[in-house]
Homo-oligomer: A and B are copies of this chain.
């Protein structure tokens, strides 16, 4: 790899900001996905319609059909499933046994599984009860322990066979058994007066061995209970890497005994002790999840420089960053003291974190402080270093051996790529799928983060459509093998702790399927159906991704009726990408704004067009027409109900005024169109033009929210205009 020209594309584009690039991606793909079919959402179901609820189809073994009959509630879909006749009945005496290998991790996992099974069925199952393999309801037949701590090389395959008398999980390692137990937990179904597990044979293994989630705990510190809850939920969807982004400009989050000022001056007191880190590693390992620490350098490091200004490239003093965006603070790569410090730091942290990989970040260095520092400029001239990119390449070349000396493989964002680095390193592509291809074509192992940034507020299907090895991939077989996996990324700028779950879940369950299931699993409707089941499962695990909304609406309403707020919330989504501008967001912005009550993806995104299409298929039928008109009436009433609430939480609610006004406008357009279409009439060109202008104005975001019902209304309008 003597020719560095292969890096030119990567280096050229590093002037782009990670965020801006993905923002563009996000905006571009939005319109196309707004018309998918799906389950009827709340927005298509006026909350205040006083009719009795219509009977709904029973979910039972007998009535499943289509994709649901193939995949049931399984997410991610296993590699191979064969459903069989019959079922294993569940009762409070349900018990379990180990057939071969048995250890503390397996015992704990089985106890957790039985406790979950109890919650999912209401049965008072004794989770500590162990039976004989011959007679047990559930047998875990694990051939050996596998590695003591989870690693990239683990065999995670398993088979799960369920018959009328017994369910049996067979695996080569504890990790396979853990995955099989999670599959089992997605299978209980109502039948008659109780629950059963449907008879089946499942043979499963992951598509990729690295299935990660990055959690940024620097921009907003996430309390340990959030981290643990996230790990519990990740395990349920077979994630196996927790990429812990532990330092950035806004805070250094790990106790360091070698360098105590990192937290004493750089954390506001918000950090994890080494004991907590060890507990968390054990907690994750028990669930088959590796913990990959990331300490971002040389940029994204302001919080280090507060306590150790001599590491920095400017004269200081430095202060913990309170605003977001790219900061100038950057380590000085020209001083030996920087490497001495980092060597001592690596010695401590590589011992604390047992994983084979150690992530040094390496992204988004704007080069400012290097460019304005005369001493650094002189150094660059002396050493014939052409630009700050090359200076950073030198930094990476110098720290890689330090990391390796402490027994770790270095990992970094795609900017670290350099032919002088050994092929053992791992490179994470955050800008595009082609960038990943380029990485592996040049002999490096790579994982894909691009397309899985949860903070972009994309709908699940948009992430779901991103494949690290798409159908038209130019990669050959050996190159494909170097695509070792993917990571969903939860960057933390806009994620106060109370809102973490709704930023991650349930979308990350759909992403997990892309990481685990065969690439042929691409049925979006079925994905959404199962994501809804996953959402309930997540709530059972303690996730607050749905409950936080009602809590916030109650808070805003101060004891009054929350329905006028809920109506709006169900008709909007956050704006996409990073274009948040309604408030001066910083690390102190509290999570008590409507923005944080709105999930990244509204059920109305798919539900409202579905309702519109149902109407358009039979414009003379009463039911869809009445539901649409009731919904429009509901939107109009919401505005009236909103007014008196503004006095209770003024700033939080006042900024919603344009959205209520727009929703009222939309309701008017919708009503006009529905009545015209149902009557077989058409709008005059002038009427249609006026309606188009009204919808156009209604697309304007406010409070960083945008109406999600516009595309459905546009469909109605074009039909009313064309007939």
B547 and A122 contact, CB distance less than 8 A: no
CA distance A59 to B45 in the complex (A): 32
Contact with B along A618-662 (1 / 0, CB 8 A): 000000000000100110010011011101111110100000000
- Cα A275 to Cα B279 in complex, Å, equals 13
Q: Specify the chain B residue showing the minimal Cβ separation from A560.
A: B56
Whole-angstrom CA separation of A540 from B554 in the bound complex: 10
Q: Which of A56, A532, A533 has the most CB of B within 10 A?
A: A56
* CB of A118 closer than 8 Å to a CB of B: yes
Please tell me which one of the listed residues B50, B193, B546, B564 contacts residue A554 in the complex, with CB atoms under 8 A apart. B546
Binds B, one of A124-132, A413-421, A432-440: A124-132
Cβ-based interface call for A525 (8 A): no
Which one of B115, B126, B588 contacts A118 once the chains associate, using CB atoms below 8 Å? B588
Chain A 503-518 per-residue mask, 1 if CB under 8 angstroms from chain B, else 0: 0000000000000000
In the complex, whether A70 has a CB less than 8 A from a CB of chain B is: no
Q: Is A592 an interface residue (CB 8 A)?
A: yes
Write out, one digit per residue, whether chain A residues 24-58 have a CB within 8 A of any chain B CB (1) or not (0): 00000000000000010000011111111101101
Chain B neighbourhood of A121, CB < 8 A: 590, 592, 651
A66, CB-defined interface residue at 8 Å: no
B50:A268 contact, CB within 8 angstroms: no
| Shortest CB distance A111–B (Å) | 8
Which residues of chain B are within 8 angstroms of A119 by Cβ–Cβ distance? 590-592
Q: Mark A12-30, 1 if CB is under 8 A from B, else 0.
A: 0000000000000000000
Contact (Cβ within 8 A) B127 A641: no
Alpha-carbon distance A115/B554, docked complex (angstroms): 20
- A554/B532 in contact, CB under 8 A: no
A588 and B124 contact, CB distance less than 8 A: yes
Which residues of the other chain, B, contact A46 by a CB distance below 8 angstroms?
50
Q: Please state if A124 and B589 are interface contacts (CB–CB under 8 Å).
A: yes
Identify A55's interface contact among B195, B532, B584, B644, CB under 8 A: B644
Contact assessment for B648 and A592 in the assembled complex, using a CB-CB cutoff below 8 Å: no
A142-195 residues with Cβ-Cβ distance < 8 A to B are 190-195
Docked CA distance A550–B547 (Å): 7
Among A71-110, those with CB < 8 Å from B are 92
> Does A225 belong to the interface (CB within 8 Å)?
yes
Interface flag for A322 (CB, 8 Å): yes
Cβ of A123 within 8 Å of any chain B Cβ, yes or no, is: yes
In whole Å, how far is A339's beta carbon from the nearest beta carbon of chain B?
Answer: 32
Residues of B contacting A275 in the complex (Cβ-Cβ under 8 angstroms): 275
Verify if A526 is at the interface (C-beta below 8 Å from B): no
Q: How far is the CA of A329 from the CA of B649 in the complex (A)?
A: 56
Whether the pair A45, B561 counts as a contact (CB closer than 8 A) is yes
- Chain B neighbourhood of A551, CB < 8 A: 539, 546-547
In the complex, the answer to whether B593 meets A122 with C-beta atoms within 8 Å is yes
Are A59 and B648 in touch, CB under 8 angstroms? yes
A477 to B602, CA, bound (A): 64
Task: Return the contact of A47 from the options B48, B542, B654 (Cβ within 8 A).
Answer: B48
B650 touches A194 (CB 8 A): yes
Q: Which residues of B contact A647 (CB under 8 A)?
A: 58-60, 190
A103 CA to B194 CA, complexed, in Å? 59
Whether, in the assembled complex, A341 has its beta carbon less than 8 Å from a beta carbon of chain B, the answer is no
Question: What CA separation (Å) do A547 and B563 show in the bound complex?
Answer: 16
Q: A690 in the interface, Cβ–Cβ < 8 Å?
A: no
CA gap between A680 and B43 in the complex, in Å? 43
Question: For the complex, is A675 an interface residue (Cβ under 8 Å from B)?
Answer: no
Answer whether residue A555 sits at the interface, using C-beta atoms and an 8 A cutoff: yes
User: Is A719's CB within 8 Å of the partner chain B?
Assistant: no
Q: Is the CB of B193 within 8 A of A650?
A: yes
**Bound Cα distance from A561 to B498, whole angstroms:** 26
Contacts of A52 in B (CB 8 A): 637, 640-641
Cα-based distance from A47 to B53 in the complex (angstroms): 13
Q: Does A69 contact B (CB under 8 A)?
A: no
Q: Does A465 contact B (CB under 8 A)?
A: no
Determine whether A4 belongs to the interface, using a CB cutoff of 8 Å to chain B: no
Assess the A555–B533 pair: CB atoms within 8 A: no
Please give, as numbers and ranges, the residues of chain B lying within 8 Å of A689 by CB-CB distance.
none
Residues of B within 8 A of A643 (CB): 55
B559 near A53: Cβ-Cβ < 8 Å: no
Chain A, 663-682, CB within 8 A of any chain B CB: none
How far apart sit A621 and B613, CA to CA, in the bound complex (Å)? 44
CA distance A634 to B39 in the complex (A): 25
- What is the bound-complex CA distance between A123 and B588, given in angstroms? 8
Interface residues in chain A, defined as those with a beta carbon under 8 Å from any beta carbon in chain B: 39, 45-53, 55-56, 58-60, 92, 115, 118-128, 190-195, 225, 268, 275, 322, 498, 532-533, 536, 539-540, 542, 544, 546-548, 550-551, 554-555, 558-561, 563-564, 583-584, 586, 588-593, 630, 633-634, 637, 640-641, 643-645, 647-652, 654
Chain A to chain B: the 8 pairs with minimum beta-carbon distance, closest first: A53-B641, A547-B547, A58-B647, A52-B637, A48-B50, A52-B640, A55-B644, A124-B588
Not counting A48-B51, A118-B590, A546-B550, a sample of 16 additional A-B residue pairs whose C-beta atoms are within 8 angstroms of each other reads A47-B48, A50-B634, A53-B564, A53-B637, A55-B643, A56-B561, A59-B558, A59-B648, A119-B592, A124-B584, A124-B589, A126-B588, A190-B648, A193-B654, A225-B225, A275-B275
